[in-house]
Every structure is written in C-alpha cells, then in structure tokens.
Amino acid sequence: MSDNRIAVLVPGKIHPRVLETLKGHFDIVALDRSESPKVDAETAARVRGVAVSGGYDAVWMDAFPNIEVIANFGVGYDGIDVGHAASKGIVVTNTPDVLNDEVADTAIALLLNTLRQFPQAETWLREGRWVKEGAFPLSPFSMKGRRVGIYGLGRIGLEIARRLEPFKVKIGYHTRSPRDSLPYDYYSTLKEMAESVDTLISIVPKTLETHKVINAEILSALGPQGVFINVGRGWSVDDDALIAALGNGTLGAAGLDVFYDEPNVPAGYLSLPNVSLLPHVASASVPTRNAMADLVADNIIAWFTNGNVLTPVPETPVKSKG
C-alpha cells in the first residue's frame, strides 16, 4: 500500500471490473463484511472513498473518519444510511440509467412468460411430452386487450410503459403526483389503479411507504383474471397474501424477479403452477453489469479528480469539493 495514494474501501464482494479500474488510481482496502469493520486506526484514517455492493450503515461510516464519497453498485441504495451520510457531508452515488433498458426488457419478458407460460412450454418440449402427450395446453391468458397499471413511473417505469405501447394495451400508472406530459391514465391511489386494471407491474423502491403495499386488498382488486409482475423490490409484497391469492384463484398469475429475503424464496411459491420466478436477474447481463461497474469507479475517480460526481443521490450533498 502506497503512503501517497488515496485509499478506497471495498467491503465484501463487488464486480471485479470495479476493482480493476480503481486499482489503477487508488490503494484498495478490501475487508470482509461484519457488524463492525476490523481495521487499524492508521488504515481507517487513510480511507477517503468507498465502493460497495449492498449495505453500508452508520457504524461502518463512523469507523472511517475521512470518508468523502460512497459509490453504490446498483440503482437502489436503500441499504446505505444516506441520512447519516448527509449529516457527515458524505456524497453517495448510485448507478441509474445504465440499467434502465435491461430491467424494462426483463419486465416485458417476465410479463409474457407469466401470461403465455413460455418456460413451461419449453420444459414440455424438452421432456419429450410434445411427442408423447401432444400439444402443450393453451395458455389461460394473453397480452391482447390487457389494461396495464405501472406502480412507479420513474426512469425504469417509463421505459416499461414505452415498451408496452406496441402491444396495443391500455396503460395507466400510479405515483405520488401525475406527469401531465404523458399519454397514460393517472390514478391517485394504488387501490384505484388495481380496481381499474387487470395487470399490475411494480417498479417502486424500498421505502417506508412501500412496505407490503401489494396486499390482499390490492390483489383482490386485480381479480381472477389479474396478473401481478414485480421487478422492483420484494419488500413491497405481502408474500402470504400473494401465495394465498394465487392458490385460491383470487389472482390469476404472477411473475416475480425480486423477493423479500433474497435469495430465500418462500416455499409456497415453488409449488404454484401460475407463478413465474426469476432469481433477481433483471439487470444481470454482462454489458449492463459492466456499465454499472464502470459508473461506480467513474464516480469515485471523478470525485478525487475534479471534486464532483456523475450520479449523486438526492439525499446527500452535491457540492463540489474543489
């Protein structure tokens, strides 16, 4: 470790491309994740930046008194105590935009898989059942004529809406406030939207307001022809209510890429024939993850080169240090 180079902390695992890039500019302090960091005071004092994939709490912030910037690998940053960071004048960054298209594409694919049962149809072919038993059963649902409500119309939600337009479905959305320039129907509450659509796509972040809001009431409002798709956060879903609704016919089908306690998936989902399950792969392509890794590294490099970052989160200061 060089005495005259800035040290950047990497707690736990992160995309190797982040490390490869940062090593050319900084000394890397790699630590295993634990409740509190195990590091000597001299090293702790040298750390001025953090590159992290996952959570970073107040205990870890306080253990490194000279941190200036925390770069998060991911668009969601609910695992980082941004309030504490702001109180200490630490800038937090995330990786928006570079994964918008990939996640939106996955949302559409998951919706089609859920409606048309394409994964089950492929399994039917691979297992030789087409030859032995005949054609795969007709899918119970179709995209045709659907009324789709998007819960959360941020960058990714808007990309999902634009991808839905060529399918000739009716599109609506619920957010805290309407966006007048858009040609989609606005609903002032989630329940109002669920009562008016038959397909609900959730792309909201993890906040206090979104905790388990997809509950029995919302699922019942969607109805037995209704479909629920989640590419946002598992935090937003009442799993017991969703499993019950899928099992008793209150809801027609669901497609899930995210779960409350990943990678643990409730066993109740696994036996249901009307749910399509993915292991949180919405942004998981080599090009997209490389772009995310580059943005993490570029934010840290930019901060220590010119005193600004490329993608600050709104809760932390954006003042130039120059």
If you write DSSP's letter for every residue of 273-294 in order, what string do you get? TTEEE--S-TT-SHHHHHHHHH
- Asked if residue 322 is part of any domain, the answer here is no
Indicate whether 156 and 243 sit together in one domain: yes
- Asked if residue 315 is part of any domain, the answer here is no
Indicate whether 86 and 130 sit together in one domain: no
- Asked if residue 311 is part of any domain, the answer here is no
Indicate whether 16 and 159 sit together in one domain: no
Does the active-site annotation cover 42?
A: no
Please tell me the predicted confidence (pLDDT) of residue 322: 47
Closest CA to 86 of 318, 320, 322: 318
**Which one of the listed residues 33, 262, 289, 315 is annotated catalytic?**
262
Indicate whether 83 and 213 sit together in one domain: no
Indicate whether 50 and 129 sit together in one domain: no
- CATH code where residue 125 lies: 3.40.50.720
What is the number of domains present in the chain? Answer: 2
- Asked if residue 317 is part of any domain, the answer here is no
Indicate whether 67 and 14 sit together in one domain: yes
CB within 8 A of 25, min separation 6: which ones? 5, 6, 301, 304
Indicate whether 87 and 221 sit together in one domain: no
Indicate whether 302 and 247 sit together in one domain: no
Indicate whether 112 and 142 sit together in one domain: yes
pLDDT in tens, the chain (322 residues): 445 789 999 999 999 999 999 999 999 999 998 888 989 999 999 999 999 998 999 999 999 999 999 999 999 999 999 999 999 999 999 999 999 999 999 999 999 999 999 999 999 999 999 999 999 999 999 999 999 999 999 999 999 999 999 999 999 999 999 998 899 999 999 999 999 999 999 999 999 999 999 999 999 999 999 999 999 999 999 999 999 999 999 999 999 999 999 999 999 999 999 999 999 999 999 999 999 999 999 999 999 999 999 999 999 866 555 4
CA distance 49 to 69: 5
Does the active-site annotation cover 262?
A: yes
- Asked if residue 65 is part of any domain, the answer here is yes
Please tell me the predicted confidence (pLDDT) of residue 321: 53
Indicate whether 130 and 234 sit together in one domain: yes
Does the active-site annotation cover 209?
A: no
DSSP 3-state assignment of 225? coil
Please tell me the predicted confidence (pLDDT) of residue 282: 97
Closest CA to 103 of 75, 77, 73, 143: 75
Domain span including residue 88 = 7-96+287-306
- Asked if residue 318 is part of any domain, the answer here is no
Indicate whether 257 and 129 sit together in one domain: yes
Indicate whether 152 and 24 sit together in one domain: no
**Which one of the listed residues 146, 233, 289, 315 is annotated catalytic?**
233
**Which one of the listed residues 116, 155, 163, 280 is annotated catalytic?**
280
Its pTM surpasses 0.75: yes
Q: Are strands 227-230 and 199-202 parallel, antiparallel or unpaired?
A: parallel
